[in-house]
Chains A and B, each alone.
Chain A
Amino acid sequence: MKKIFLILLSLAFFTACERKIDTFTVSSGTANFKKYISIGNSLVAGYADGALYTTGQKYSTPNLIAGQLQLAGSGAFVQPMVKSEYGVDFPGSAYRLVLGPSTDCKGVTSLGPVPLIGAKDPLLPNVGYAVNNFGVPGAKSFHMLAPHYGDPALLALGKANPYFCRFAQTAASSVLQDAMAASATFFTMQLGDNDVLSYALSGGMDTITSPAFFGTVMGGVLQGLTSNHAQGVIANIPDVTSIPFFTTVPYNGLVLARQSLVDSVNYAMSVFHLPFTYHLGQNPFLIPDPTSVLPFKVRQMVAGELVLLTVPQDSMKCYGMGIVRAIPPQLPYPIPKQFILTLEDIAKLKTATAAYNEIIKGLAANFKLGLVDLNTRMNELQSGIVWDGIALNAQFVTGGAFSLDGIHLNPRGCALSANFFIDAINKQYGSTIPFVDITKYPGVIFP
Chain B
Amino acid sequence: MRKVTLLLLCIFITALNSFAGGYQVGLHSTRNIGMGLIGTSLSYDASALFYNPGGAPFIDSKFSISGGATFLMARATYQSQDQVYQEHMNHDMNYPFYFYFAYKPIKDLSIGLAVNTPYGLSMSWPDTWQGRYLIQSVKFSAVTIQPTVSYKFKDIVGIGAGFVISYGNVTLSKAVPISGSGNTDGQANIKGSTVKYGYNIGVMVHPIKKLSLGIDYRSRIDMAVKDAKAEFTVPVSVATKFPNMNVDVTLPLPANLDFGISYEIGEKWMIGLGLNYVFWNVYDSLAFDFKTPTPNTTSVASHQASAKLYTNRLITRLGAQYKINPMFTVRAGGYYDPTPIPSDRLDPMLPGSNEIGLTCGLSIYPTKGLSIDASFEYLMGSERSGISSPDENGSHNFAGTYSTVFYMPGIGLTYNF
Interface residues in A362-417 (C-beta closer than 8 Å to B): 376-377, 380-381, 383-391, 398, 400, 412
Given A7-B7, A442-B183, CB of A389 within 8 Å of CB of B397: yes
Shortest CB-to-CB span from B406 to chain A, Å, is 10
Alpha-carbon separation in the docked complex, A99 to B407 (Å): 50
B178:A434 contact, CB within 8 angstroms? no
When the two chains form their complex, are residues B79 and A24 in contact, meaning their CB atoms are under 8 A apart?
yes
A439 and B75 contacting across the interface, CB-CB below 8 Å: no
Interface pair A389/B133, CB less than 8 Å apart: yes
Cα separation A389 to B176 with both chains bound (whole Å): 9
Among B3, B73, B83, B383, point to the contact of A21 (Cβ < 8 A).
B383
For B75, the chain A residues whose CB sits under 8 A away are 15, 17-19
B133 touches A15 (CB 8 A): no
User: What residue of chain B has the Cβ atom nearest to residue A14's Cβ?
Assistant: B407
Q: Type the 1/0 row for B382-393, where 1 means its CB is closer than 8 Å to any CB of A.
A: 010000110001
Contact between A111 and B237, CB atoms less than 8 A apart = yes
A429 proximal to B (CB < 8 A): no
* A443 lies within 8 A of chain B by Cβ: yes
Q: Contact: B84 with A434, CB < 8 Å?
A: yes
Contacts of B293 in A (CB 8 A): none
CB-CB < 8 A to B295: which residues of A? 398
Tell whether, in the assembled complex, residue B303 and residue A386 are in contact, meaning their CB atoms are under 8 Å apart.
yes
What's the Cα separation between A442 and B183 when bound, in Å? 6
Please give me the residue from chain B that is nearest to A422 by CB atom. B82
A203 to chain B, nearest CB (A): 30
Report the separation of the CA atoms of residues A390 and B178 in the bound assembly, to the nearest whole angstrom.
Answer: 10
Q: A residues 1-29 with Cβ under 8 Å of B?
A: 2-3, 6-7, 10-11, 14-15, 17-24, 26
Q: Which residues of B contact A446 (CB under 8 A)?
A: 178-181, 234-235, 237-238
Chain A, Cβ-Cβ closest to B234: A446
Q: Which residues of B sit under 8 angstroms from A439, Cβ to Cβ?
A: 130, 132-133, 177
Interface string of B372-408 (1 = CB under 8 A from A): 0000001001010000110001111110010111010
Q: How many A-B residue pairs have CB under 8 A?
A: 146
Tell whether A424 is near chain B: CB-to-CB under 8 Å: no
Q: How far is the CA of A391 from the CA of B177 in the complex (A)?
A: 8
Contacts of B77 in A (CB 8 A): 18-21
Say if the beta carbon of B208 comes within 8 Å of chain A. no
Is B1 interfacial (CB-CB < 8 Å)? yes
Closest to B235 in A: A446
**Main SS class of interface, B:** mixed
Tell me the smallest distance from the CB of A214 to a CB of chain B, in Å: 27
Does residue A153 face the partner (Cβ distance < 8 Å to B)?
no
Q: Known contacts being A7-B4, A387-B396, is A26 close to B84, with CB within 8 Å?
A: yes
Query: Can you list, as one digit per residue, whether each of A99-124 has a CB less than 8 Å from chain B (1) or not (0)?
Result: 10100000000010000000000000
Chain B proximity of A116: nearest CB distance (Å): 12
- The answer to whether A341 has its CB under 8 Å from any CB of chain B is no
B183 proximity list for chain A (CB < 8 A): 442, 445
Chain B, residues 214-244, CB within 8 Å of chain A (1/0): the string is 0000000000000000000011111000000
Closest beta carbon of chain A to B186's beta carbon, Å? 9
Contact A389 B394 (CB under 8 A): no
B299–A391 CB distance below 8 A: yes
Q: Check if B8 sits within 8 Å of A6, measured CB to CB.
A: yes
From A4, which residue of chain B is reached at the shortest CB distance?
A: B4
Smallest CB gap from B5: residue in A: A6
Complex CA distance for A10 and B86, rounded to whole angstroms: 27
Task: Give the docked Cα–Cα distance between A385 and B396 (Å).
Answer: 8
How far apart sit A307 and B321, CA to CA, in the bound complex (Å)?
Answer: 79
Give Cα A385 to B390, complex, Å.
11
In the complex, chain A residues whose CB is within 8 Å of the CB of B394: 376-377, 380-381, 385
Q: Closest chain A residue to B134 by CB distance?
A: A389
Which one of A99, A388, A442, A444 has the greatest number of beta carbons of chain B within 10 Å?
A: A388
Given A446-B178, A447-B237; A390-B4 close (CB under 8 Å): no
Contact of B302 with A by CB under 8 A: yes
CB interface residues, A 120-136, toward B, < 8 Å: none
Contact B389 A386 (CB under 8 A): yes
A111 CA to B396 CA, complexed, in Å: 31
Q: Tell me if A435 counts as interface (CB < 8 A to partner B).
A: yes
15 A-B pairs besides A7-B409, A380-B395, A389-B303 with CB distance below 8 A are A15-B407, A17-B75, A21-B78, A22-B79, A24-B80, A388-B134, A389-B398, A434-B82, A435-B82, A445-B180, A446-B180, A446-B235, A446-B238, A447-B180, A447-B181
Binding site for A on B (CB under 8 A): 1, 3-4, 7-8, 11, 73, 75-80, 82-86, 88, 91, 130-134, 174, 177-181, 183, 234-238, 295-296, 299, 302-303, 378, 381, 383, 388-389, 393-398, 401, 403-405, 407, 409
User: Would you give 14 A-B contacts (Cβ < 8 Å), ordered by A?
Assistant: A3-B1, A14-B405, A19-B404, A383-B393, A386-B395, A388-B131, A389-B131, A389-B177, A389-B397, A391-B302, A435-B80, A446-B180, A446-B237, A447-B236
Closest 9 CB pairs of A and B: A389-B133, A380-B394, A446-B235, A442-B179, A19-B77, A19-B403, A389-B134, A21-B79, A442-B183
